[in-house]
């Protein structure tokens, strides 16, 4: 016959074993939940970067169609812009630079901050005979591009310079 004293030892052993299994299950479940939350937030951050890139591309295309950057005529002669490109105000432009490049094209760089928040877009415009190439790179964390959840989206557009 087993004494009552030895039965108490088995009860404690089983209690510790059950507590350990329940604790490990809770930790594993919490880990899965945290990973799912991070994964779902990446979709939101990606959308923010895309919207910033799209806003930058739309602003650049508006400026190109309305001759803020200059154009080439039918004989590939450079025509001066009708409006100063520094006056382009479709959205907030933080930084800008531009002018003729060594290849004879017009090249511009804009930092566009569409929502004055965390996201922004770096826009590169090259005006050549026949139209313009617009590259807009939207970033969801402009102030901290090395953030672990930083996302960047690029949009490329070729514009003929004709308004529709």
More confident residue, 4 or 148: 148
pLDDT the model gives residue 137 = 94
pLDDT at 164 over 60: no
Cα distance between residue 95 and residue 79, in whole Å: 24
Where are the chain's structural domains?
5-159
101-142 residue pLDDT tens: 777 788 888 888 765 667 888 999 888 887 889 999 999 888
pLDDT band at 156 (very low <50, low <70, confident <90, very high): very high
- The answer for residues whose C-beta is within 8 angstroms of residue 50's C-beta and 6 or more apart is 138, 153, 155
**What is each CA distance from 118 to 48, 56, 58, 156, in whole angstroms?**
9, 14, 19, 22
Distance of CA 142 to the CA centre of its chain: 8
User: What predicted TM-score, i.e. pTM, was given to this entire model?
Assistant: 0.70
- Give the pLDDT mean for 10-21: 89
Contact 123, 134 (CB under 8 A): yes
36-46 residue pLDDT tens: 888 888 888 89
71-103 residue pLDDT tens: 777 666 777 776 776 677 776 666 667 777 777
Mean pLDDT of the chain, nearest integer: 81
- 112: tokens are 């566009």
Q: In what order do the strands lie in the sheet with 120-128?
A: 93-100, 106-112, 120-128, 131-139, 152-159
pLDDT the model gives residue 54 = 92
Phi, psi of 75 (to 5 degrees): -95, 15
More confident residue, 27 or 118: 27
- 163: tokens are 């308004």
pLDDT the model gives residue 101 = 77
């Amino acid at each position: 016959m087993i004494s009552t004293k030895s039965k108490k030892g088995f009860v404690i052993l089983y209690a510790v074993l059950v507590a350990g299994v329940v604790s490990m299950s809770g930790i594993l479940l919490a880990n899965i939940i945290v990973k799912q939350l991070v994964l779902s937030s990446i979709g939101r951050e990606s959308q923010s970067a895309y919207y910033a890139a799209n806003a930058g591309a739309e602003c650049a295309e508006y400026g190109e169609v309305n001759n803020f950057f200059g154009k080439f005529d039918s004989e590939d002669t450079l025509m001066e812009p009708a409006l100063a490109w520094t006056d382009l105000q479709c959205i907030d432009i933080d930084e800008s630079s531009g002018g003729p490049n060594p290849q004879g094209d017009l090249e511009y760089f804009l930092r566009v901050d569409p929502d004055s928040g965390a996201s922004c877009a770096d826009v590169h415009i090259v005006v050549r005979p026949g139209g313009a190439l617009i590259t807009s790179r939207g970033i969801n964390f402009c102030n901290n591009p090395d953030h672990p959840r930083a996302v960047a989206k690029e949009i490329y557009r070729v514009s003929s310079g004709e308004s529709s």
